[in-house]
Amino acid sequence: MNRMSNEDIRWMLELLEAEGLAEIEVREGESQVVIAATLTDPHVVTSSADRPHSGPELDEHHIPVLAPVAGVFYRAGTLEADPLVDVGDEVVYGDAVGLVEAMKLFNEIPAPASGVIISILAKDNQQVAADQLLMIIET
């Protein structure tokens, strides 16, 4: 097996997190690499597709902003920085509205639609689950 690059390892970590996998194992000949996730409940392994977002029912004018992965939610890029968005702010599709740190990687949360932030449900520095409702945008 050729030596794995840091990029290969990052890709496997992202895949592990994105798919909700407990473990990834790569073997070639007598060499192998195993990457395993630490789970809160070792008896439960689900993919993000199996977890519905939690929160209020939304109509067609209210768009949910969901956590892309499980991790720690941040409203700003640094402790000293202002939050990326506040309630009442207008956002454009794709604008960064928050960050989720997972496995030492920061994942930007893009606005899924243009509109106004009407609710921020997650607190700064809070542990969140994949697909957890973080904010609501009114279009």
**Mean pLDDT of all residues belonging to the chain:** 81
Percent of the chain at pLDDT exceeding 70: 80
- Write the CA distances from 48 to 19, 96, 118, integer angstroms: 7, 21, 25
19 and 60 fall within a common domain = no
CA angle 103/104/108 to nearest 5° reads 95
One domain, residues 14 and 59: no
Q: What is the per-residue pLDDT across 71-95, written as a single tens digit (0 to 9) for each?
A: 999 999 888 899 999 999 999 999 9
Average pLDDT over residues 112-119: 95
Residues sharing a CB contact under 8 Å with residue 55, sequence separation 6 or more, in sequence order: 64, 121, 133, 136
Is 48 domain-assigned?
A: no
Q: Do both 115 and 67 map to the same domain?
A: yes
pTM: predicted TM-score of the whole model, two decimal places: 0.61
Within 10 A of 115 (CB to CB), how many other CB atoms are there? 19
50 belongs to a structural domain: no
Mean pLDDT of 120-136: 93
For residues 65 and 107, state if they share a domain: yes
The answer to whether residues 59 and 112 belong to one domain is yes
* Window from 16-25, 34-43, 89-98 with minimum mean pLDDT: 34-43
What DSSP state is assigned to residue 7? H
Note whether 10 and 75 are same-domain residues.
no
Q: Considering the domain boundaries, does residue 49 fall inside one?
A: no
Domain that holds residue 11: 6-36
Q: What does the pLDDT read at residue 44?
A: 43
Query: 68 and 126: one domain?
Result: yes
Q: Alpha-carbon distance 38 to 108, whole Å?
A: 22
If asked whether residues 30 and 83 sit together in one domain, one would say: no
